[in-house]
Amino acid sequence: MSHGFRKRIMYHKKLFICIFVVGTLTLLLSGGITFGWFSRYISREIVKMEEVQLQNIANIYEVNIEQYKQKLQTTFQNNSMRSYLLNFSKDDFYQEYEAARYLQNLISNDSTISQIVLFNQREDILHTGPAYIPQKQLDDIIRKAA
């Protein structure tokens, strides 16, 4: 009887070990599948959010460019600016002062514009803004515009 009892205990031990191993493998496999699915889900959601953010940034730039176009048209409709731009001469201080004052107001009322430089035949004629632009940057602007 003790021999049969011992076989039964060995059988139950082996059965328990097999069930434990199969259960552990099943748990690991389901955990791995769940983690893989969750990782792909998070990656897809991040890509969707990036697309939305890029579209929003593109829309913001389009709106800013449209605003700049409108401001340029409004600026050219101003009599002192039109007179200064069309009849440019370095001797007319009053026109330059009026144009600089108008452009400075334009900068003050807009948080996206920080500097305005007017050029006439590749020569800078008027700077407005909080700081003076270095000559190297002006040369780069002229080179890119040409």
63 or 145, greater pLDDT: 63
d(CA 13, CA 10): 5
- 81, 128 contact by CB (below 8 A): no
d(CA 74, CA 70): 6
The confidence score (pLDDT) of residue 137 equals 80
The confidence score (pLDDT) of residue 125 equals 62
Burial grade of 81 (CB within 10 A; 0-12, 13-18, 19 or more): buried
Tell me: pLDDT of 6 over 60: yes
Q: Which of 4-8, 46-50, 107-111 has the lowest mean pLDDT?
A: 107-111
Q: Which of 39-53, 56-70, 88-102 has the lowest mean pLDDT?
A: 88-102
The confidence score (pLDDT) of residue 91 equals 63
Tell me: pLDDT of 42 over 90: yes
The confidence score (pLDDT) of residue 78 equals 76
The confidence score (pLDDT) of residue 121 equals 64
Task: Using a pLDDT cut of 90, give the percent of the chain over it.
Answer: 31
The confidence score (pLDDT) of residue 127 equals 64
Average the pLDDT over 27-35 and give the result.
93
Q: How many CA atoms lie within 13 A of 70 on its CB side?
A: 7
